[in-house]
Amino acid sequence: MNCYDCHQLGTNTAAIAVCRNCGGALCPAHIKVTAQEIHRHDGMGLSTLKQGARRLTCLTCHDAENQL
Ligand SMILES: [Zn+2]
Ligand SMILES: [Zn+2]
């Protein structure tokens, strides 16, 4: 599978991951890796676990989620 964003630009680059949001295949140049905090209800309240999960998205989805 080739990178979707590169395909839009008229080039073919092998994809190494898939956007968790839109499902598009992505090459290293078009991936946005973010740490996702894991919250857990813990007795009296909410605690944030020290170890965050990994979240891979394309640049389009990353920008869409961070436009505020
Ligand atoms: Zn690409
Ligand atoms: Zn996406």
Give the Å distance between the CA of 22 and the centre of ligand 1: 15
Residue 44 CA to ligand 2 centre (angstroms): 36
The predicted pLDDT at position 14 comes to 98
What's the pLDDT at 36? 81
27 touches 15 (CB < 8 A): yes
- What's the DSSP call for residue 50? S
Per-residue pLDDT, 48: 84
Q: Is the pLDDT of residue 37 over 90?
A: no
Instruction: Pick the range with the lowest mean pLDDT from 3-7, 10-14, 51-55, 57-61.
Output: 51-55
Give the model's pLDDT for residue 1. Answer: 95
Q: What is the pTM of this model?
A: 0.75
Residues by chain with Cβ below 5 Å of ion ligand 2 = 19, 21-22, 58, 61
Q: Is the pLDDT of residue 6 over 90?
A: yes
Distance (angstroms) between ligand 2 centre and the Cα of 7 equals 14
Q: How far apart are CA 64 and CA 31, in angstroms?
A: 14
